[in-house]
Structure 1
């Protein structure tokens, strides 16, 4: 398995596990607390289930045909790039949005997207 793919899969698995076990951990760096069952369910679904699904897909894709593998890597890279672009667009309407954790996550998302595209 390609090291770049492993790194991205582990990132998504870690995010997924953290969101399922402790939803507040995921939103805490942004000053948000999921204080209702519905909010915690949303964190578990979007960050937990999605993260684990992408991690599993990346691990499975690496053992599949080159076409399938490349398709998965591009799709996940585009998803990560979309997150990063969303942060940049947010920077157009919010003051100082990329300082602190948002900026760190922007860099991580960008780096992981590039890693996957290089790994193809």
Structure 2
């Protein structure tokens, strides 16, 4: 595993850990809140459990997580076009997701060179 691949995987695991431990923090980043147990449970499931799974899949199949990360960045960028009032946090997350996609694509390429 390359250092970039390890950092990308640790990033997804960290997102999961924060979302699971402090679910209200996730919507607060975007100016929202999670006032009910059900809203916090949803955040733990999607931002917590799912990102832990993404980190695990990224270990075995970095290309798949590269595509997933690029898809998130694309969806967020398209949403910013639809919502012109989107703030700088949205742009930062587009950049982070693109960087994660790039890291996983590089890891997949490195892995295929070692195997092939």
Normalising by structure 1, we get a TM-score of 0.84
**Is residue 110 of structure 1 aligned with residue 98 of structure 2?**
yes
Partners in 1 of 2:31 and 2:47 — Cα distance? 17
Q: Report what 2:12 is aligned to.
A: 12
Partners in 2 of 1:86 and 1:2 — Cα distance? 28
**Is residue 87 of structure 1 aligned with residue 81 of structure 2?**
no
Moved over 2 A (4+): 56-59
The RMSD of aligned alpha carbons is 1.2
CA distances 1:18-68 after superposition (whole Å, capped 9, x unpaired) = 011100111111011111111101100001001111222334x2xxxxxxx
Gaps of 5+ in 2: 109-116
SS at match of 2:24: helix
SS at match of 2:94: helix
- Paired residues in the alignment total 108
Q: Report what 2:25 is aligned to.
A: 25
Task: Compute the displacement of 1:82 (Å).
Answer: 0.9
Q: What pairs with 1:55-74 in structure 2 (closer than 5 Å)? A: 55-59=55-59, 61=60, 72-74=61-63
